Amino acid sequence: MSVLTDQYRGFARYNHDFNAALYQRLEALSTDQRGRDLGAYFGSIHGTLNHILVADWIWLLRFRSAFSGMQVLHDAQWLAPPGALDQELYCDFADLHVARRRTDELILRWATQLDDKTLGQTMRYCNSKGQQRAHPLWVAAAHLFNHQTHHRGQITTLMSQMGCDPGTTDFFAYVQ
Query: Can you give the pLDDT of all 176 residues of the chain as single tens digits?
Result: 688 899 999 999 999 999 999 999 999 999 999 999 999 999 999 999 999 999 999 999 999 999 988 999 998 999 999 999 999 999 999 999 999 999 999 999 999 999 999 999 999 999 988 999 999 999 999 999 999 999 999 999 999 999 999 988 888 877 76
How far is the C-alpha of 28 from the C-alpha of 164, rounded, in Å? 8
Q: Where are the beta strands (DSSP E) in the chain?
A: 122-126, 132-136
Quick one: CA dihedral 160, 165, 167, 168, positive or negative? positive
Q: Which of 40, 61, 71, 38 is nearest to 150 (CA)?
A: 40
Distance CA 155, CA 49 (A): 8
- CATH annotation of 3-175: 1.20.120.450
Output the pLDDT for position 113: 93
Distance CA 59, CA 150 (A): 16
Which pLDDT value is given to residue 1?
63
In this prediction, residue 168 carries a pLDDT of: 85
| Domain ranges within the chain, ordered by starting residue | 3-175
- Confidence (pLDDT) at 170: 85
Burial of 175 (0-12, 13-18, 19+ CB in 10 A): exposed
Amino acid 160: pLDDT: 94
* Torsion 64-42-12-2 (CA) sign: positive
The span from the CA of 171 to the CA of 82, in Å, is 29
Residues in contact with 111: Cβ distance below 8 Å, sequence separation at least 6, in sequence order: 8, 9, 11, 12
Q: How many CB atoms lie within 10 A of CB 56?
A: 23
